[in-house]
Amino acid sequence: MPDTFWFALEVTLNGLMAGVMYALVALGFVLIFKASGIFNYAQGVLALFAALTLVGIMEGQVPFSHLINAVFGTSLHHIGFKVPALLAILLTAGVMVILAVLVERYILKHLVNQEPIILFMATIGLAYFLEGLGDVMWGADIKTLDVGLPKGISDTIEATTYDLFGYGFFIDKLDIVAALVAALLVTTLTLFSQYSKQGRALRAVADDHQAALSVGISLRFIWVLVWSIAGIVALVAGIMWGSKSGVQFSLSLIALKALPVLMLGGFTSIPGAIVGGLIIGMGEKLFEFFIGPLVGGATENWFAYVLALVFLVFRPQGLFGERIIERV
C-alpha cells in the first residue's frame, strides 16, 4: 500500500474525531431546538462560559475581580487555593443550572409565542451578553484547562498500527476520550428521553406545546430542564475543546461550525447531529488534504458551510430531519 493511502486514512480518522467534537456542540443545539423550537445561537458561548467558569473555579479566581479592582481600587485576583477538578466540574454544572433558570425567568418567559426569528435574535443577544459576562467575571486572557484528561499522541496506537500496516497512525488520546464521552452522552440522553418521566414530558413538549400543557406538563419547568441539560452538554464540550486548544474567545466560534453540522443532520435529530458532525469533520479534513494545497490552504474555514449549502439545495430538511410540509 502506498503511503498516501495510509496518510489519507489517518486524515480521515482524525477528521472523524474532530467531527465528534463538532457533534458535541451540535447536540446542545438539537436538544433546545427539539424542546422549545428555539434556535439557540448562544450554545457555543455557553460552552465558552462553562469552560471559563470551570478554569476560574479550579484556579480559585475571584469572580469579577477586574471590575471590583477598577471600581474600588483594590487588587483582588485569587482566593489562594485551588479546587479539585471533579468538585469544580460539579460547581460549574451548578452554575449552568442557575443560568438556565435565569434565562427562562428573564428571557424566555417574556418571549412566549413570538416568532422563531425573534427568539433566534434573542439568543444572539444572550450570546453577546454571556461573552461579556464571562470576560468580566474571569478575565479575557487565554487560559489552559487541565482536568486530568489524557493528552498527546497515543504511542500504543502508533506502535500497533506500525506493526500491522507498516505505517504508524498519529491519533490524539484526547480525541479518543472525546469520542467515548460523546457516545456516553448520546446513550444517556437517549435513555433519559425514552424511559424517564421527565424525558417523556420533554418529548411531549417537543411534539406539541399546547397538547403538552393541556395534560398538565409544566412548560416552564421543561424549559429550565432542557436549558440545564444543554448547559451541561456545553460544559462537556467546553472541557473537551478547552483541553484541546485552550480556553479563549475562538471557542465560541465553534458554535458557528456546529451550524452546518446541524443542517446536514437536520435540526431535530440527535443521531443526525452525530452523523452530521462526522461527515463535516471528515469532509473538511479530506478536502484540506486533497484540494487544500491546490488553492492555498485554510479551506477548513468555509468548506463545512459550502458543503451544507450544496447538500441543502438537494435535501432541504437535512439527512434525518422531519419532512417539511408547507400549507397556506
Partner 1 sequence: MLYREAGDFKTSYGADSQTFPIRFDRMRYYAVLALAFGVVPFLINDYWANAVFVPFLIYAIAAIGLNILTGYCGQVSLGTGGFMAVGAYACYKLMTAFPEVSILIHVLLAGGVTAVVGVLFGLPSLRIKGFYLAVATLAAQFFLVWLFNKVPWFYNYSASGQITAPERTIFGIAVTGATTPAWAKYLFCLVLLFVLAWVARNLTRGAIGRKWMAIRDMDIAAEIIGVNPLTTKLSAFAVSSFFIGVAGALFFSVYLGAVEVGEAFGIQKSFLVLFMIIIGGLGSIFGSFAGAAFLVLLPVFLKNVLVGQLGWPTDLAAHIELMIVGGLIILFLIAEPHGLNQLWRVAKEKLRLWPFPH
Nearest distance, CB of residue 128 and partner 1, angstroms: 3
How many whole angstroms separate alpha carbon 113 and alpha carbon 210? 11
Is 26 buried (19+), middle (13-18) or exposed (0-12) by CB count in 10 A? Answer: buried
With contacts defined by CB under 8 A, how many residues of the chain interact with partner 1? 52
Least distance from C-beta 260 to partner 1, angstroms?
6
- Tell whether the torsion through CA atoms of 236, 225, 104 and 318 is positive or negative: positive
Min dist CB 326 to partner 1, Å, is 5
Q: Which amino acid is at 239?
A: I
What is the per-residue binding string for partner 1 in 12-41, x denoting contact by CB under 8 A?
---------------------------x--
Instruction: Tell me the residue length of the chain.
Output: 328
- The dihedral built from the CA positions of residue 200, 102, 46 and 120, taken in this order, carries a sign that is positive
- The answer to whether residue 50 forms part of the interface with partner 1 (CB under 8 A) is no
Q: Which is nearer to partner 1, 159 or 298 (CB)?
A: 298
Q: Cα 24–141–64 angle (5° rounding)?
A: 95
Q: Does 296 bind partner 1 (CB under 8 A)?
A: yes
Binding mask 216-255 for partner 1 (x = CB under 8 A): -------------------------------------x--
**78 bridge partner residues:** 61
Which member of 4, 67, 220, 291 binds partner 1 (CB under 8 A)?
67
Considering only residues 87-116, where is the footprint of partner 1 by CB under 8 A? 107, 110-111, 114, 116
Amino acid identity of residue 46, one-letter, is L
Other Cβ atoms less than 10 A from the Cβ of 107: the count is: 17
Residue 326 interacting with partner 1 (CB under 8 A) = yes
Q: Which of 6, 120, 167, 192 binds partner 1 (CB under 8 A)?
A: 120
Among 49, 169, 267, 320, binds partner 1 (CB under 8 A): 267
Nearer to partner 1, 110 or 323 (CB): 110
CB of 225 to partner 1, least distance (A): 21
Euclidean distance between CA atoms 195 and 193, whole angstroms: 6
| Three-state DSSP class for residue 269 | coil
Among the listed residues 225, 266, 241, the one whose alpha carbon sits nearest the alpha carbon of residue 181: 241
The residues in 305-324 that bind partner 1, with binding defined as CB under 8 A, are 305-306, 308-309, 312-313, 316
Least distance between partner 1 and beta carbon 274 (Å): 18
- In angstroms, rounded to a whole number, what is the distance separating the alpha carbons of residues 44 and 62? 24
Cell numbers for 248, please give them. 479563549
What is the distance between the alpha carbons of residues 178 and 99, in angstroms, rounded to a whole number? 25
Number of neighbouring beta carbons within 10 Å of residue 231? 26
Binding footprint of partner 1 on the chain (CB under 8 A): 39, 66-67, 70-71, 107, 110-111, 114, 116-118, 120-122, 124-133, 135-136, 140, 253, 256, 259-260, 262-263, 267, 295-299, 301-302, 305-306, 308-309, 312-313, 316, 326-328
